[in-house]
Chains A and B, each alone.
Chain A
């Protein structure tokens, strides 16, 4: 099975621009979660989508949004970029079953740099 694919791998933007990141989950997985990772804050949960519906949302401003398509592929969008948005954005796919023993499969991430 192919793993989780995130595109692009690297991205450079300037303040005020917007960006869209893409994630293709493992075939058959219905849940996609997004995380932001920075050296100071570690891995922080952004949001999770399951069957095209947002199931959970982290504590991030409204500039961060996402969606999931019928084929389970997901996109996240960040509008009005700020310097502090520079981070590694990770997507994780899972079956979406019971969270107590669910296993997440991560992509390699998109490294976003905001100048």
Chain B
């Protein structure tokens, strides 16, 4: 079973900022949080990873509160090409990474 919970779907207009929140109540002390993006008929692609506070790269930002029981992926000024499924994963020891159903983001013109 996935260790994370995230919304099934979200809609947004082009140019808006999109925030996708992921719940991981049972995250362990040493676990990292990783987000992937998947387009239809392609494999998931790594977006961003963090442990605590805030991480930013050229694609997105990741906000992690102090209790680390949730995290928020922020996509600035989305475009139609950002329409995809976004997965939130929590890594743990030697167990395989489990992908849940993800969040299907639809960007509307």
User: Chain A contact residues (Cβ within 8 angstroms of B): what range?
Assistant: 20 to 34
Residues 41-64 of chain B, each 1 if its beta carbon lies under 8 Å from chain A, else 0? 111111001010000000000000
Return chain B residues, CB-CB under 8 Å to A106. Answer: 42-45
Return chain B residues, CB-CB under 8 Å to A109. Answer: 41-43
CB within 8 Å for A99 and B42 given contacts A35-B99, A42-B99, A42-B100: no
When chains A and B are docked, how far (Å) is the Cα of A103 from the Cα of B96? 12
A56 CB-CB contact with B under 8 Å: yes
When chains A and B are docked, how far (Å) is the Cα of A88 from the Cα of B44? 12
Count A-B pairs with CB separation below 8 Å.
Answer: 67
Q: Number of residues in B with C-beta < 8 Å to the partner? A: 26
Is the pair A43, B44 in contact by a Cβ cutoff of 8 Å? yes
Taking the closest CB of chain A, its distance from the CB of B31, in whole angstroms, is: 5
Is the pair A99, B97 in contact by a Cβ cutoff of 8 Å? yes
A55 CB-CB contact with B under 8 Å: yes
- Chain A residues within CB distance 8 Å of chain B: 4, 33, 35, 42-43, 45, 48, 55-56, 58, 88, 90-92, 98-109, 111
